[in-house]
Each structure stands twice: as structure tokens, then as C-alpha cells.
Amino acid sequence: MSSAQAAAEFILVPLSKLKSETVLSFDLYIQHGGMEPVLYRTRDMPFGDEVRVRLQESGVHELLVPESQAIAFEEYCGEVGTADEVLAVEATDPGIPRDETNLVDLLADASVPLEHRCDGLAGVSQAVIALAMEDLSLPGLSDRVRKVAEASARFLLAEPGAYSTLVSRFKLDFEMTAHLYNTSLYTTEFARALGMDDLEGVGRLGRAALVHDVGKGDIPGELLHKEGSLTDLEWAEVMSHPSRGATMLEEAGWHDPICLDVVANHHERCDGSGYPRGLTKEQLSVEARIVAIADTFDSLTTCFPHRPAMSGFQALWRMKRDMAGYFDEKLLDRFIQVMVDPTLHR
């Protein structure tokens, strides 16, 4: 989409039109130079003076509202919101922790040290992952995971130092929530490097990565981390987790095709040697191929009871040399470039 086409699909809104301490009933987009507009704030988020000041300090004096939401914007302009109304909206979701509700604002607040913002993202991400591993059917959980993934994608796009800082704070010892979070971060940054600039699409892919191993939730930990070889029965149970995870998602009402595809196929390999169905490259989506690479890289660079973690370079070398045929060769080469020097694609 050209910048002219993008502008035709949005309403230009001066910051002065956005009243302080009101809850938006429409999405706000931001446009940098000739780039396509990207989602800045969703329609359910309050707009306060601190947000306005951050935008003005960044040289932003106008935002964009989708043409399709013009009626909601006009109705908003005719009303005056109050702080009490903002609090009332927040109170409608009492089960959502405040750090999750405030995540987007935290990540956008340049006055907060980068390390603190990164820790906030990690904490919220792993908290929603833990909820998913425990009960996928929690009302609204799918959307909450998506919003966290979108917040992560937006943070990586807006903050040049975010990716390296986040990775530097990864835990080396294996924990399921940490592995899923790490894999999602690698996936999101890799997708961005590949030119996937649709925030919603990257958010959906990030959400899929956040829950890609959900099928392992009811497999005993001692089996997943067993030292030595697995029996045929034990291996069969471990290999069932992609299919089991996809079934669990469907039964819980998670019907996003990207999520279902990634969960079901992240252990398939391009040469047909993967599981559970032995699919080949032509049968695998690019999303499943991306997450397969990110998942493997994080596994290799994580400590397990039966083996130490590899360095990033060792893991990439092994993936390139010893796992030839497993991964999409062009994607793997691009992933290696991103891991070796993340600044190359910025």
C-alpha cells in the first residue's frame, strides 16, 4: 500500500481533538515519514496528558483514525470524558492485572529506564503464558495474549535498543513460560526483519509463538526433561503435543488459523522428517517455518538437566550444518543474519 492509499483510508486527527482523560472508542494510528500507518493505541485505551506530552516531545502532532471508525470518532468528539469514567471502564475487567492493563503505556514511556520496560514486558508475557498453559478457556484470554504480542511488536519497532536488551535478560535455565516468551520474541523480531510490517499480523504470529507448546501442559515434567533415551511410548507421548495443543485451542475457542497452524506444525521439517505428520516445505506455511526456527534456536541455547546451553553461534552453526534440510534454507540464512547483527535490518 502506498502512503497516498494509506492516507485515503484514514482521517487525520490533530492531537488537540483528543480530550485528556477520556477512553477512546476508536483506534489511533501513527505514521512516520512515508511509511504505512501502524497501530499506536487501541480503541479501549484511555488517552491522558502524559500520552499527549510524549507524542509532542517526539514531534508528533497528528494521529490517524481509520475511515471505517469515523462515526465512533464523531460521537467521541461530541462527548466529554472524565477520570471517573476511565476508572469505571478499567473496573469492568477486574481480573486483568494492572501491569497488563498498563503495558502499552509502560513500553512507550521513555522516562522509564529501558531495562525496567523490558522486565515489565517479560513479566506480563510470562504471566499470560502461564494462564494459557493452565486454562485456555478463560474468557478473553486469546485476545489478551494477542494484545501482549502486539505490544511486544510495537515496542521492538519503536525502540532500537529493545531487542538486544530483552535478549540479554533471558533466563538460561529451562522454564516453559520463559521458553515460550523467548520464542515469541525471536519470532516477532525475525518477522519484522523479513518486512512483515502489519502490526496485527505480527501480533497474531507472536501470539501463536507464545502458546506453541501449549500441548505440553499436561505432559509430566520428568518426562519432558528425562535424562537418557525415551522409550517408544514416552516418545510417542511427547510427539503428540503439537496435535494435542491444536485440539486444545479449538476446544477452548481459539480459532485463529495462524495460531492453530503454528501450534500443530512447529515440529514439522522441510525435508519431511518432522512430526506429527511428516509434512514437507511445500505443505508448511511461512509462519510455521518461522516459528520452527525460533523454537529450535531457543531450545539449543537453553540449559536442560541432560545438557548445557549452546552459545548463540554454536546453535546457529549446528542448525546450518547438522540440521540441513530441516528448515527453510532462505529463512534460516536470514535468521542467522538477524542473530549475528540485529542492526543490519533496522
Per-residue confidence (pLDDT) for residue 3, from 0 to 100: 40
* Buried residues in 41-67 as b, exposed as e (16+ CB within 10 A): bebebbbbeebbebbeeeeeeebbbbe
CB–CB of 181/119 below 8 Å? Answer: no
Judge contact between 253 and 142, C-beta under 8 A.
yes
C-alpha distance across the termini of the chain, in Å:
20
The domain 97-346 is placed in CATH, from the list 3.30.460.10, 1.10.3210.10, 3.30.420.40, 1.10.490.10, at: 1.10.3210.10
Q: For 197-229, what is each residue's pLDDT tens digit?
A: 788 899 999 999 999 999 998 788 778 777 778
- φ, ψ of residue 62 in degrees (nearest 5): -140, 145
Residue 115 has pLDDT above 50, yes or no: yes
What confidence score (pLDDT) does residue 173 get? 58
What pTM, to 2 d.p., does this model score? 0.71
Q: Minimum mean pLDDT among 215-229, 247-261, 330-344: which range? A: 215-229
> Per DSSP, what are the bridge partners of residue 38?
30
Share of the chain above pLDDT 90, in %: 47
- For residue 267, what are the contacts with CB-CB under 8 A and spacing of at least 6? 239, 242, 274, 275, 276, 292
**According to the model, what pLDDT value does residue 220 have?**
81
The answer to whether the CB of 15 falls within 8 A of the CB of 41 is no
The residue with greater pLDDT, 324 or 145, is 145
Q: What is the DSSP string of 39-68?
A: EEE-TTSEE-HHHHHHHHHTT--EEEEEGG
The pLDDT assigned to 84 comes to 34
Q: DSSP readout, 224-247? A: HT-SSPPPHHHHHHHHTHHHHHHH
Separation CA 265–CA 105 (nearest Å): 34
- φ, ψ of residue 22 to 5 degrees: the values are -125, 155
C-alpha cell at 42: 487501541
The least confident of 19-23, 91-95, 100-104, 319-323 is 91-95
266 confidence band (pLDDT: 50, 70, 90):
very high
Residue 5 is predicted with a pLDDT of 42
Distance CA 340, CA 312 (A): 9
pLDDT in tens, 78-89: 653 323 332 333
CATH 1.10.3210.10 region(s) of the chain? 97-346
Cβ neighbours of residue 175 closer than 8 Å, sequence gap 6 or more? none
What length does the chain have? 346
Picking from 29-33, 51-55, 132-136, 275-279, which range would have the lowest pLDDT averaged per residue?
A: 29-33
